[in-house]
Amino acid sequence: MSATPVLAANSVSMVFGGLTALSNVSLRLQEGQILGLIGPNGAGKTTFFNCLTGLYSPTTGNVQLRGQVLPTDPAAVTVAGVARTFQNIRLFPSMTSLENVMVGRHSRMKQGPLASLFHGPAYLKGERDARDRSRELLEFVGLGTVHDELARNLPYGDQRRLEIARALATDPKVLLLDEPTAGMNPQETEATRQLIFAIRETGVAVVVIEHDTKFIFSLCDHVSVLVQGQLLVEGTPDVVRADPRVIEAYLGKPPDEVEAEVRQYAEEAAHGGPESTQVMQPIRDQDGHEGGNR
Amino acid sequence: MSKPTNSVTGSVAIPPGLARPLGIGGGVLAILGALLPWVTFLLNDGAYPDKATLQFFDAPYAVSGFRLHVLLLGVVAIVAHFIPVPLRRVLRALGWGLIGVAAVNIVFPLVDGGGFGAITSDGTNFAFGGIVSLIAGIALVLAAKTGPLEPVPQWKTSVPTLVAYAVLVVSFVALLLVVAMMLNAGGQGGVGNPYAGPIFLSLLAFLAGVLGALHGIGLTGWISGLSDKHKWFSVIVLVLVALALPFTEAGTDYWMTTAANIGVYAATAIGLNIVVGLAGLLDLGYVAFLGIGAFVAANFSGAAAAAFDIELPFVVAAIIAAVVAGIFGAVVGSPTLRVRGDYLAIVTLAFGEIFKKAAQNNIGGLTGGANAIPNVPPINWFGASFDESLTIGSLELPSGVLYYVLIIVLVALVMVVFANLKNSRIGRAWIAIREDEDAARAMGIKTGQAKILAFLIGATLAGLAGAVFAHKTSTVAYDSFQFIESVTLLAAVILGGMGSIPGAVLGAALLLVLPEKLREFSDYRLMLFGLALVLIMRFRPQGLVPDRHRRAELADEGADGVPIEELNVHDTPGDEKAVTR
């Protein structure tokens, strides 16, 4: 773990007016790692993502990709090799799946305005390469059959996967996924988990924001817990899961009568037993199918 | 997942059992209506056209003009019951066509001849043709409401190339003849024909009905599929067909001039389409770029009032005009880095006004101010002056034909530029910016550069059109470039369908031809025109010839007449959830 991390956030703070959204958050993402970022609503997870991707310029601190400080311009950050998806899906709704992914190829294509205008051999080759690569990626995320479907017409889960394909099209070194399984049923969540493993296989390091702690603990090599803009705990899933502060941050100080249940929950989570998929849901709701089978 | 179904059936529920009686009955009524007289007596402005008076008795079955159209619609409605076509779709289109034709030819005698007597009975004579045809139209529309509309059949586009070519040639030639027919309906500009307006409107309604029916059986979709597949062949044929217009009945000085004006507007509108339709940047001062191009070309034309005492060849002047306009485009585009949406519209609006005021005040002695720059010489190539008529062998072509040809070439050029850019990395970037600017940036698109490029290219094309405009109109004055012109251009783009090339051309054509054709409605002309725009936007918000993307965007927002089936929505196997947005 002493090697230069592929992505490093160094004491990032973000202040909006009088509100401190992030204070001194640091993060190290190693090559080939899947890092989970969890925390209650409003903890600053998405703000942190926006700092990582240059959408926000951190008030203090910086972000480095393989030792190079990243600029605070989303386009330049993407070119440098950090791609992201959005919490609320932001595809280009009236473009087809294939076109969406081809937009992702934008920064890796060399076609200038003149080539675009005259459609010479170089243009044709570039266009063909981009299309082939985009098809490959659609295939990779499991959307091989819907190239010509408009993004807006895709089912919800497919839209999430299309967003991932689009992000991958930028040839990233680091992929940031903002709640990739939000609103998914258990099968889709599992498919997404497998997809993220497959992405890691291709040499891309991944950071995932999720509410679903079971998903995070079963997916990530390293988990960071963000609470009220501060890094509360970090470490391997086992370390984080066992930390009472995490449970407290999520559920508040347990009154005596629910303490036992909380402990039971933590145990079950540790053994991968029946559990609620959404930690934010009351933990009494234990049928495990809630939110699925719609 | 259930396929989203289109509910064009509306609120009226007609028992399906009535479909056949209504459909066939409507057809029979239409034939009857066509054969009945339509007007009882001579109107104030003379006999209503096409045997609509009691001349019925002189020539009992003489049917021509709009009555022929009514007859045809009726016959087709009956025939449609006995051949395998999407019946309700066809009947709906025919019905609306009939209603349109009947309404025009009822309303006009009513207003012009004074009272219901003109279209019913004045004691001795009767004339129920209009009313009967109207009822026929309504019956057909009701017959179409007896059930959900059928999907438009998708014809196979994998036909032998030669067949495809033949089909394309035939359809484009048919298009040319229809255009010529429309231009000539009622005589050019209504000169000497008091009924030119209703004749034209009635023809329009008829053509709309026929087009709707052809669309309903999948023919237009098939042809557009074929032309997509054989893109280059289509473009060439289209240009050749456009060049053939002077040889048709519309080949008059008047229409050549109007067509050339349309061409200038169409080229400019396509340029604007890059900015508004692709990149989604609302520009309310776009005509300024046309103006800049025109003034630059005028100043290098050798006109007496020009600022520079040099006469450059037209091509050189046109290139300079385009470059200068492009530079201004980039300058105007630069604030777009900071402002979005409404604010951008205000910035461009202000730029348009600055340009107009500057031109009005003869800034730098470049615009002639209120005196304009008059007497810009016509383009002269190889001894042929562009404003004179042209004789090829024994065939004399109308004056202005050379401008017409030049402008066709210009429009074709601009079309190619637009199409090539649209299907490229930069075009995709523009559309991405239009759809979601933040997401576009997150995809590595330098949105600032891309937006300025859109403005630059759009302005360059407008500048090029402006150079032709300067020579063609011969007087370049600031008041040709008012705010209302920008609005007209924008209307052309939106009317035709944002992001669509044929849309921009059709929009420009409609916006210039309709006012000409509605001339004899004098005071009501612009009101009718405005009403037409409102109606089109209400019933076809995606534009007349929508771009694929826009069509998808607006069709599911309750746009009437654009069934979802056309959008190729198909189920994705294995989905458990439908998108509900």
Cross-strand bridge partners of residue A200: none
Mean pLDDT throughout A141-145? 89
CA B407/CA B419 separation, integer angstroms = 18
| CB spacing of B428 vs A149 below 8 angstroms | no
| CB spacing of A53 vs B440 below 8 angstroms | no
- DSSP letter, residue A3: S
Where are the alpha helices (H) located in B274-400, listed in sequence order?
A: 287-299, 314-333, 341-360
Whole-angstrom CA distances from B162 to B31, B41, B158, B170 are: 39, 54, 11, 12
Identify the pLDDT of residue B43. 65
| CB spacing of B425 vs A111 below 8 angstroms | yes
CA A274/CA A287 separation, integer angstroms = 8
A58-67, A96-105, A168-177, B518-527: the lowest-pLDDT one: B518-527
B interface test, pick of A82, A95, A131, A147 with most B CB neighbours within 10 Å: A95
| CB spacing of A156 vs B577 below 8 angstroms | yes
Q: DSSP per residue over B261-304, as a string?
A: HHHHHHHHHHHHHIIIIIS----S-THHHHHHHHHHHHHTBT-T
CA A198/CA B87 separation, integer angstroms = 52
The residue from A152, A169, A186 where one domain ends is A169
Q: What is the pLDDT of residues B394-451, one digit of tens each?
A: 677 777 788 888 999 999 889 888 988 988 999 999 999 999 999 999 999 999 999 9
Counting one residue from chain A and one from chain B, the pairs whose CB atoms sit within 8 A come to 137
A34 is a domain residue: yes
Nearest to B314 by CA among B197, B391, B409, B399: B409
Same domain, A142 and A30: no
CA A58/CA A45 separation, integer angstroms = 14
B81: left (phi over 0), alpha (psi -120 to 50) or beta: alpha
CB A74 within 8 A of CB A107: no
Query: Nearest CB to A95: which of B421, B457, B549?
Result: B549
Identify the pLDDT of residue A60. 92
Identify the pLDDT of residue B191. 57
φ, ψ dihedrals at A174, nearest 5°: -130, 135
Residue A234 Cα, gap to closest chain B Cα (Å): 28
Percent of chain A at pLDDT exceeding 90: 50
CA B307/CA B295 separation, integer angstroms = 10
Identify the pLDDT of residue B51. 45
Place of tokens 């209603």: B99
Q: What is the pLDDT of residues A173-203, one digit of tens each?
A: 999 999 999 888 899 999 999 999 999 999 9
Q: What is the pLDDT of residues A77-99, one digit of tens each?
A: 999 999 999 999 999 998 999 99
Identify the CATH number of the domain in which residue A25 sits. 3.40.50.300
A9 by DSSP, 3-state: which? Answer: strand
Torsion angle of the four alpha carbons B253, B259, B265, B269, in this order, in degrees rounded to the nearest 10? -170
A102 lies in which domain range?
Answer: 94-169
| CB spacing of B444 vs A294 below 8 angstroms | no
Same domain, A183 and A194: yes
Residue A289 Cα, gap to closest chain B Cα (Å): 15
| CB spacing of A75 vs B1 below 8 angstroms | no
Residue B568 Cα, gap to closest chain A Cα (Å): 8
Identify the pLDDT of residue A29. 93
Place of tokens 């072509």: B397
CA B199/CA A244 separation, integer angstroms = 85
Q: DSSP per residue over A174-238, as a string?
A: EEEEESTTTT--HHHHHHHHHHHHHHHHTT-EEEEE-S-HHHHHHH-SEEEEEETTEEEEEE-HH
Domain ranges of chain B: 16-224, 274-497
Same domain, A1 and A77: yes
- State how far Cα B96 lies from the chain centre: 19
Task: Provide the residue count of chain A.
Answer: 294
- DSSP letter, residue B495: H
The residue from A144, A169, A194 where one domain ends is A169
Residue A59 Cα, gap to closest chain B Cα (Å): 21
CA B217/CA B103 separation, integer angstroms = 26
- The token duo for A249 is 């941050």
Identify the pLDDT of residue B34. 84
| CB spacing of A155 vs B575 below 8 angstroms | yes
| CB spacing of B435 vs A113 below 8 angstroms | no
| 98-157 of B, contacting A, C-beta below 8 A | none
Q: Rounded to 5 degrees, what angle do the CA atoms B140, B143, B147 make?
A: 145
| CB spacing of B442 vs A74 below 8 angstroms | yes
Contacts of A153 in chain B (CB under 8 A): 552, 567, 569, 579
Same domain, A16 and A159: no
- Which of the residues in chain B have pLDDT under 50? 1-10, 51-61, 550, 552-581
φ, ψ dihedrals at B158, nearest 5°: -90, 75
Same domain, A184 and A233: yes
Q: Please give the single-letter amino acid code of residue A272.
A: G
Identify the pLDDT of residue A257. 53
B126 by DSSP, 3-state: which? Answer: strand
Identify the pLDDT of residue A41. 84
A281 is a domain residue: no
Identify the pLDDT of residue A141. 93
Nearest to B289 by CA among B102, B462, B480: B462
> How many folded domains does chain A comprise?
2
Query: Nearest CB to B441: which of A75, A117, A157?
Result: A75
Identify the pLDDT of residue B393. 66
Chain B residue nearest residue A167, CA to CA: B443
Same domain, A59 and A45: yes
Same domain, A219 and A244: yes
Query: Nearest CB to B572: which of A94, A158, A294?
Result: A158
Same domain, A77 and A218: yes
A292 is a domain residue: no
Identify the pLDDT of residue B455. 94
- In our burial notation (b when 16+ CB lie closer than 10 A, e otherwise), range A138-174 reads bebbbbeebbebbbbbbbbbbbbbbbbbbbbbbbbbb
| CB spacing of A74 vs B438 below 8 angstroms | yes
Query: Nearest CB to A78: which of B1, B421, B443?
Result: B443
Identify the pLDDT of residue B232. 81
Place of tokens 């009005």: B360
| CB spacing of B442 vs A130 below 8 angstroms | no
Where are the alpha helices (H) located in A18-73, listed in sequence order?
A: 45-52
Same domain, A146 and A157: yes
Same domain, A115 and A177: no
A53 is a domain residue: yes
B63 by DSSP, 3-state: which? Answer: coil
The residue from A109, A138, A169 where one domain ends is A169
CB B36 within 8 A of CB B120: no
| 497-556 of B, contacting A, C-beta below 8 A | 549-550, 552-553
Structural element, H or E, at residue B502: helix B501-517
Query: Nearest CB to B435: which of A95, A105, A155?
Result: A95
Same domain, A178 and A72: yes
Percent of chain A at pLDDT exceeding 70: 86
Identify the pLDDT of residue B58. 43
Same domain, A17 and A157: no
Do the strands A82-84 and A34-38 form a parallel or antiparallel pair, or are they unpaired? unpaired
Do the strands B395-397 and B390-392 form a parallel or antiparallel pair, or are they unpaired? antiparallel
| CB spacing of B443 vs A104 below 8 angstroms | yes
Identify the pLDDT of residue A137. 94
Tally: H helices and E strands in chain B: 20, 4
Identify the pLDDT of residue A256. 61
Residue A9 Cα, gap to closest chain B Cα (Å): 19
- The token duo for B106 is 């009822």
